[in-house]
Amino acid sequence: MSNGTPATVRDRVAAEEKPATNGQVVSRPATNGVALPAPKPAAAVRISHVTKSFGRTSVFADINFTVARGELVEITGPSGAGKTTLLRLIHGQLRPTRGQVWVGGQGLHRWWRRGLGRIHREVAFIYQEQRLLPRLNALENLVYALMLVDPTVPYARIRRRALEALEAFGLASRRKAYPSQLSAGERQRVAVARALASRPRVILADEPLAAIDDQNAKLVKRMLEEAAASGTTVIVATHKPTFQAGRVLRLPEGELLVRRGGAKEAGGAQPLWRRLVPQNGGNGHNGNGHNGSNGHNVANGHNVANGHNGQVAIASAGLNGHTARNGKNGHGPQARRRTARTGISLGRRFVALLGNSFRLVVLGGLRSWRRDLRLTAPGLGSMAMLLVLIGVLAMVGLAVANVAAYEASQASVVRVYLASDATDQAVSSLETRLVTDPRIGSVTYVSAEQALKEANSRPGLESLGSLSSSNPFPASFDVNVRSVNQVAAVAAGVVGDPAVDATYPTSYDPDTYSRLRHLAIIIGAVGAGLLLVFAIVAYAVSANSVRAVAVARKDEVMITRLLGARGWMLRGPFVMEGLMTGALAGALAGAAAGGAWLLASRFAAATYAQVLPGVGLTSMRYVVAAVIVAGILLGALTATLGFRRYRV
């Protein structure tokens, strides 16, 4: 070599710079001159010995099937052969009776299937019946689905991607039309656009061309084929082979067919398919031996697979305009997702998450609450009436508490009667002992003249002073005990003191205190029982209202779950509806309770009788606020628990 470069290095560089020929990518030799085979691509979907039965009815038995990444495969067969059932198994909607189903390395055949929501987000399902959300227009259906898949993408980018998908299917002018205003073909195109716009790893299409005309069928067909060309695994269920698929699985026999060449018109001399694997064949030939993405099949009609290195040269781009995909250069689905997020910083993702969460939970819940107001009206009225009763009961409870507090304050005052012959020194000694007692709050001396004047001011006692020429009321100490429970001990402690009247030492009456305690216990128990009954009834009524709304929207909930919504995305709008219902019921109940208080105040002023003693304007404000808060908490609690029970 004139340039001094070793031959092995020169040959390796030349081999690396040699362009692909005939649509194939040339493998690069190793440094020792031996070509290294490319690693086999990981399977996107693998079905091993799967049997599915509904009761005693068997749909299919012992199906073995492997689909590589970026492969387009068709599942054919007559009606009732199990095509839709097999797609639902791959999507995780059903579990097989026997066998294993693996999607992206995750087993969907297990009883405890973790991460099923992630599967729904990465595996898009194009339903034969479209399953669009009826309360959202065409554009909102796509935007909503994209927010469920990845809420960290800015809303402007999500909306732009949704508009581009609708424009690609010629539906830009119909973006504000609701599903009920769209034809069957338009709904089908919206469903396909929704699936492709999310850029999933796998697309499952159940009869995607059944409800559309030939022109739009060609468009949908081309879009799905281009999605496969851009690296998305596409599995289509059809009655007969229609797409440029590399392989076909025929049900219910489980026969796996491979395309020998390009598509020909029906009735041509050359057969389009040949039998590849019998029904009970192993999976050693399915997608990883001599067919699939690295065998002899044509994956999408435009790209020729290489049987030696497992690499695919892509000639046409997918929906998002990206070009070539190589099996080893890292431009797979995960890299494509990272590319989609290029330029979005962590801070912007967090802000986008907050914004999209607000749209999904708060705005979505408010819109659903407004539309479901007819369904929630009975529960709203019942909850408001129960909250009114709770508010009135709270006002009565405050009045009783004020009366009880007044009586307790009066009961805590013990009058210690002084003996008529008590000396000043004995009275002073008794006063000192009472003042220094930590159980006593205050001690007030009441002279005999003050006692007579106080008795004359009370109805029924003024005649006692006229029965005798002398003052019948002795001097006394009014002792204010800190706790009602300590009154008996204080009263017993002054008995026998030289300054205390031995005949009638104090005003303490044990029966009076016992009756007061019993009355307080009874009133508290009755009030607590009534509050508990009202709370249980309010919860039952509001929970039934939430379940009625959930049942009325069960189709929407099911579609949202199948689109891959996370738990908070499902529960959040219902909790928001419960909050709004509870807040409105609490506001109505607070207004009614305030009106009742105003009527009671006017009645008390007119009759000079205290209807609600001690319940003033400040107390009434607290009652109204408490009723509103109780309604909000009750609505949120019933919405959360009611929706949880409905899901279970």
Q: What is the pLDDT of residues 203-226, one digit of tens each?
A: 999 999 988 888 999 999 999 999
Q: CA nearest 175: which of 143, 150, 146?
A: 143
| CATH code, 450 | 3.30.70.3040
Amino acid residing at 226: E
Tell me the average pLDDT across 62-85.
Answer: 92
Residues 219 and 540: their CA atoms lie apart, in Å, by 52
Which structural domain, as residue segments, surrounds residue 75?
43-344
Tell me the sheet residues that pair with 100.
48
Q: Which residue has better confidence, 551 or 387? A: 387
- What is the pLDDT at residue 10? 38
- What is the pLDDT at residue 273? 33
% of the chain with per-residue pLDDT over 90: 33
- What is the pLDDT at residue 318? 38
Evaluated on CA atoms 276, 279, 281, 287, the torsion sign reads positive
In terms of domains, do 18 and 91 share one?
Answer: no
Q: Is 420 exposed, middle or buried, given 0-12, 13-18 or 19+ CB atoms closer than 10 A?
A: exposed
Q: Which residue matches tokens 């299409």?
A: 205
Q: Which residue has better confidence, 408 or 288? A: 408
In terms of domains, do 258 and 283 share one?
Answer: yes
Asked if residue 351 has pLDDT above 80, the reply is yes
Helix (H, G, I), strand (E, B) or coil at 76: strand
In terms of domains, do 49 and 131 share one?
Answer: yes
Three-state secondary structure along 243-305? CCCCEEEECCCCEEEEECCCCCCCCCCCCCEEEEECCCCCHHHCCCCCCHHHCCCECCCCCEE
Burial 451-490 (b: 16+ CB within 10 A, else e): bbeebeeeeeeeeebeeeeeeebbbbbebebeebebbeeb
- What is the pLDDT at residue 378? 78
Please answer whether residues 329 and 25 qualify as being in contact, where contact means their C-beta atoms are separated by less than 8 angstroms: no
What would the pLDDT profile of 184-197 be if each residue is shown by its tens digit? Answer: 999 999 999 999 99
Q: Is residue 489 part of a domain?
A: no
Residues 420 and 471: their CA atoms lie apart, in Å, by 11
Q: CA nearest 259: which of 240, 245, 270?
A: 245
- What is the pLDDT at residue 37? 54
Evaluated on CA atoms 545, 551, 554, 555, the torsion sign reads negative
Q: Is 604 exposed, middle or buried, given 0-12, 13-18 or 19+ CB atoms closer than 10 A?
A: middle
Q: Is residue 105 part of a domain?
A: yes
In terms of domains, do 293 and 170 share one?
Answer: yes
Please answer whether residues 293 and 39 qualify as being in contact, where contact means their C-beta atoms are separated by less than 8 angstroms: no
Residue 304 banded pLDDT, cuts 50, 70, 90: very low
- What is the pLDDT at residue 507? 84
In terms of domains, do 228 and 153 share one?
Answer: yes
In terms of domains, do 378 and 522 share one?
Answer: yes
What would the pLDDT profile of 568-612 be if each residue is shown by its tens digit? Answer: 998 898 889 889 988 999 999 999 988 888 888 877 766 666 677
In terms of domains, do 102 and 209 share one?
Answer: yes
Residue 270 banded pLDDT, cuts 50, 70, 90: very low
Residues 182 and 165: their CA atoms lie apart, in Å, by 17
- What is the pLDDT at residue 179? 94
In terms of domains, do 268 and 214 share one?
Answer: yes
Q: Is residue 8 part of a domain?
A: yes
Residues 581 and 568: their CA atoms lie apart, in Å, by 19
Per-position DSSP letters for 375-431, written without gaps between them? HHHHHHHHHHHHHHHHHHHHHHHHHHHHHHHHHHHHHTEEEEEBPTT--HHHHHHHH
Using CA atoms in the order 55, 59, 64, 70, what is the torsion angle rounded to 10 degrees?
-110
Segment holding 205, helix H or strand E: strand 202-206
Kindly report the backbone phi and psi dihedral angles of residue 237, in degrees, each rounded to the nearest multiple of 5, phi listed first: -100, 120
Please answer whether residues 585 and 377 qualify as being in contact, where contact means their C-beta atoms are separated by less than 8 angstroms: no
Q: CA nearest 143: which of 162, 171, 129?
A: 162
Residue 463 banded pLDDT, cuts 50, 70, 90: low
% of the chain with per-residue pLDDT over 70: 74
Q: Is residue 499 part of a domain?
A: no
The mean predicted confidence, pLDDT, of the chain is 77
Tell me the average pLDDT across 322-343.
Answer: 44
- What is the pLDDT at residue 290? 38
Segment holding 568, helix H or strand E: helix 567-607
Asked if residue 509 has pLDDT above 60, the reply is yes
Q: Is residue 490 part of a domain?
A: no
Helix (H, G, I), strand (E, B) or coil at 595: helix
Asked if residue 34 has pLDDT above 80, the reply is no
Residues 550 and 533: their CA atoms lie apart, in Å, by 26
User: What percentage of the chain's residues is helix, strand, coil (to nearest 5)?
Assistant: 50, 15, 35
Q: CA nearest 51: which of 77, 85, 79?
A: 85
Counting the structural domains of the chain, the total is: 4
Tell me the average pLDDT across 13-33.
Answer: 41
Tell me the average pLDDT across 425-436.
Answer: 91
Residues 419 and 504: their CA atoms lie apart, in Å, by 9
Q: Is residue 143 part of a domain?
A: yes
What would the pLDDT profile of 242-269 be if each residue is shown by its tens digit? Answer: 898 889 999 988 888 886 544 443 344 3
Helix axes 567-607, 364-371, angle to 10 degrees: 60
Residue 395 vs residues 27, 129, 527, 587: alpha-carbon distances, Å = 86, 57, 11, 16
Residue 41 banded pLDDT, cuts 50, 70, 90: low
Token representation of residue 308: 């030696």
Asked if residue 146 has pLDDT above 90, the reply is yes
Residue 539 banded pLDDT, cuts 50, 70, 90: confident
Token representation of residue 393: 């009961």
Q: Which residue has better confidence, 409 or 497? A: 497
- What is the pLDDT at residue 247? 92
In terms of domains, do 475 and 587 share one?
Answer: no
Q: Is residue 151 part of a domain?
A: yes
Residue 323 banded pLDDT, cuts 50, 70, 90: very low
Tell me the average pLDDT across 541-545.
Answer: 73
Residue 462 banded pLDDT, cuts 50, 70, 90: low
In terms of domains, do 111 and 128 share one?
Answer: yes
What would the pLDDT profile of 97-133 be if each residue is shown by its tens digit? Answer: 999 999 988 888 887 767 888 999 999 999 988 999 9
Tell me the average pLDDT across 325-332.
Answer: 41
Instruction: Report the chain's C-alpha Rg in angstroms.
Output: 42
Q: Is residue 507 part of a domain?
A: no
Residues 550 and 548: their CA atoms lie apart, in Å, by 5
599 C-beta neighbours (distance < 10 Å), count: 11
| CATH code, 177 | 3.40.50.300
Of the residues 430, 464, 482, the one at which a domain ends:
482
In terms of domains, do 161 and 255 share one?
Answer: yes
Tell me the average pLDDT across 334-363.
Answer: 78
In terms of domains, do 106 and 181 share one?
Answer: yes
pTM of structure: 0.67
What would the pLDDT profile of 519-538 be if each residue is shown by its tens digit? Answer: 777 877 887 787 788 778 77
Tell me the average pLDDT across 414-443.
Answer: 90
Q: In what order do the strands lie in the sheet with 413-417?
A: 413-417, 476-481, 440-446
